[in-house]
Amino acid sequence: MSHRILLLSGPNLNLLGTREPDVYGTTTLDDVVRTVTAAAGQRDATVTHLQSNHEGELVEALHAAIGSADGLLVNLAAYSHTSVALRDAIRATGLPCVEVHLSNVHAREEFRHTTLTGGVSLGVITGFGLGSYTLGLTALLDHLDG
C-alpha cells in the first residue's frame, strides 16, 4: 500500500552540514531529504518535504496535510520544545506522527529534555543522526501498514 508522508523540518535545519557540526554532524538537509525519500520509495511511499524557519508556515503545512498525507515525520527543531501551536496543529491533523532529532536532546541543555510535540506523536527518536530519520520513517510506515 502506498503512503504519502509529509516530512517537516523546523528552524535552522536549512543550515545542517555547517551549523554546529560537533552537535549535528556534517549531514545536510538535502542529504536528509534524499535519504528519507529513497527509504520511503523502497516501501512504495512518497515524501513531500517542507523546511521553514517560521512557526506559522509549519502550522499551515500541517493543516494542508489533512487529506493529502497519511503520516507525518517531523523534526521541528527548537519549536519541538516551545510550540503549543505546533503541538495543537499535529493533534488537529489526526495523522500519525513520529518526531525525530539528530542529536540526543536528553544529553543536552535541560530545556531540550521535554518536547511539547512529542506528546502528540507516536514516538520520538533522538540521537542517531541521519539514522533517526530512517528509524522514524520505518516506525511510521510500520504503523500505517498496521
Output the furthest CA–CA distance in the chain (Å, rounded): 41
Alpha-carbon distances, residue 142 vs 66, 90, 107, 145, 146 (angstroms): 20, 19, 28, 5, 6
Q: Could you tell me how many residues make up the chain?
A: 146
Q: Is 101 a catalytic residue?
A: yes
Cell numbers for 50, please give them. 517542507
Catalytic residue among 24, 49, 79, 133: 24
Alpha-carbon gap, residue 135 to 68, rounded angstroms: 23
> Which candidate, 126, 142, 120, places its Cα nearest to that of 43?
142
What's 44's DSSP letter? Answer: T
Catalytic residue among 3, 49, 101, 133: 101
Which H/E stretch holds residue 20?
Answer: none
Q: Is 49 a catalytic residue?
A: no
List the catalytic residues. 24, 101
